[in-house]
Structure formats: C-alpha cells, structure tokens
Amino acid sequence: MIRVLANDGIAANGKSQLEAAGFEVVTDHIPQDELMTKLNDFDVICVRSATKVRQDLIDASPNLKVICRGGVGIDNIDHAYAKTKGIPTYNTPAASSASVAELVFAHFFGLSRDVQRSNSELRQEGSEFKKLKKAYAGGQQLRGRTLGILGFGRIGVEAARIAIGLGMNVLPVDLVKESEAIEIDLMGRKVMVEVPVVSMDKMLAEADYITIHVPGGNLIGEEELAKMKKGVILANTSRGGVINEDALLAALESGQVRGAALDVFIGEPTPRRDLLENPKVSVTPHIGAATGEAQYNIGTELADQIIAHFGK
C-alpha cells in the first residue's frame, strides 16, 4: 500500500479521497528533526509552510516518490534537487487564489477606515468616543481609486476581479503576460474585461493601493517606495522580504506610505515586534489560504495529483 504523510495536515475530503483510492494517509505531525529517520517509511509527503523538504531530507529518504505542497509557493522544498532524483513536486496554485485575494481586500478596507486602530482604542478603558470619532474621520473609499498588482498570476487576477467589481482602476505588472481577459459576474451576467499589463514605474507612480503576488525576492525597497504616490496603502500576502521591512517602516514614519497589510514576514514564526506593534500596519499570521473553501479545494487538488501520479 502506498503511504502518504500529510505532515502539515490535509482537509478531510482530500484524505477520504486518497483512502478511497487505496492509499494510507497519516496525518500525525512528525517534527522536522525526526523526519530524517521517519520519512523513508512513506512514499509521499504533503506539506504546507511549516515542514521543510531540503536536500538532506531527500537524500535520507530513498523511498520517497512524490512531494506535494498544499499552496502556491514551493520555496520550502528543494524541488530542483528533487527533480534530479526523479521525484516530482506538485503544488496547488489555483485552490486558494480567491481566499488570498479576499484577505487582501479585508486589510485594504480596514486600513482605509483605520478599523484596526479605532477598534482597539475604542475598547480601552477611558476611551473618549467623540475624540476618536474626530481622530478617525479621514477615511477613504476604494471606489474610483487605482489598484496596482505586482504579479498577475492566479491570485493577482482574483484581486483584479474584486477591484473591478468595486469600481477601481487596475494596473497589473507582470514579467510574462501582456494582458489578461478577466470574467466578471455582474448580477448573474458574465462580462469579459481585457486588462493590459503596465510598466513597474507607471504602476508605482499611479497606484493608490498595491498588492503583491510574487514567489519571492526583495522587490520593494527604498527606491521603489519613493516612487509611489504619497499615502499609498500596500499589502503583502506572498512572501516575507518582498518588501524591505526597514524601508517600509521608514516610509510609514514619513507618511509616504499610509498603511501596510502584512500576512507574511521575514522572521516567521516570530516577526519583528516593531512591525507588529506599528499602528499603521494591519497584520495577520499567514492565513491567506485559511478558509474552509480554500482548504477543501487544496485537499481535492492534492488528492487528484497523487492519484493521477500513481495511476490509480
């Protein structure tokens, strides 16, 4: 029997689907330092962000036949090295796109109306209702503003779909695409909207909001932040370090950046305190794909890929 280790968990539907196809699925978490001696008991490992599958672990597991990542990025897997050993790496790029894009806009709405700050301050003993009402009277709405999208893959397209529905202008940046036809559902009526890709400089100069959906790299630093419109609001739900954290804090302090939404950090699982405690930063603990719908889709996609690989 083919044994699957879902070391960071798998949705019940995915587990049931694999078991119905004749696989044994183990969901008991094995600590990273114990995998070196225990992973070789399995044919497949499924991970999310927590478990790392590096070269030394691959070398210690000659029985390993498939590596799966429940999510988009595969930077916690030495996938190129695995390929040289004849071990394919599968991920689930489409499963969580809508959930991640919706989290971006949850942050955008909150930052635009200072929800994260007023919510906390109003609850404090001795808070002055009228004073806070006046302090947070300078909100802004998203309709009519411009969204910049850095990385126009599946999640970027979902972000564009939401933005267009809100009445925003969209300026995507991508290294591969020149445009994308996006289907918008307007009260049950399907409408196709062609969205052209623009240059990085144009996006930085014109966007009121910017969301980042790239696999990694230090792409937004002091120079890029200086090119942005004053008062821009940023969101990073891709990878920690895509925005230089020191430069971001300086831009928040100067007012160049009005607010930042961060779901990912360089120091996970212990992000730097000055980011977490900055009142202009809205934070979540890497939960972009943490919806029931996304996890169901991830479970189905992983199961389909594993079953297809083994010809079941």
Contacts of 295 (CB under 8 A, 6+ apart): 11, 289
Exactly one of 79, 117, 213, 286 is catalytic; name it: 286
Residue 169's pLDDT is 98
User: Which pTM value belongs to this model?
Assistant: 0.90
Is 121 a residue of the active site? Answer: no
Residue 21's pLDDT is 97
Is 301 a residue of the active site? Answer: no
Q: Which H or E run contains 264?
A: none
Is the dihedral angle over the CA atoms 300, 302, 305, 309 positive or is it negative? negative
User: What distances in angstroms separate CA 7 from CA 26, 48, 198, 273, one per listed residue?
Assistant: 8, 8, 41, 29
Strand residues in 30-174 grouped as ranges (E) = 44-47, 66-69, 89-91, 146-150, 169-173
The span from the CA of 123 to the CA of 116, in Å, is: 12
pLDDT averages per 10-residue partition of the chain, 312 residues: 96 97 97 97 95 97 97 91 97 93 98 95 94 95 98 96 97 96 90 97 98 93 98 96 97 98 94 96 95 96 96 79
How are beta strands 209-212 and 189-196 bridged, if at all?
A: unpaired
Exactly one of 48, 239, 245, 258 is catalytic; name it: 239
Are the beta carbons of 285 and 264 closer than 8 angstroms?
A: no
Residue 72's pLDDT is 84
Strand residues in 56-178 grouped as ranges (E) = 66-69, 89-91, 146-150, 169-173
Residue 216's pLDDT is 84
Is 117 a residue of the active site? Answer: no
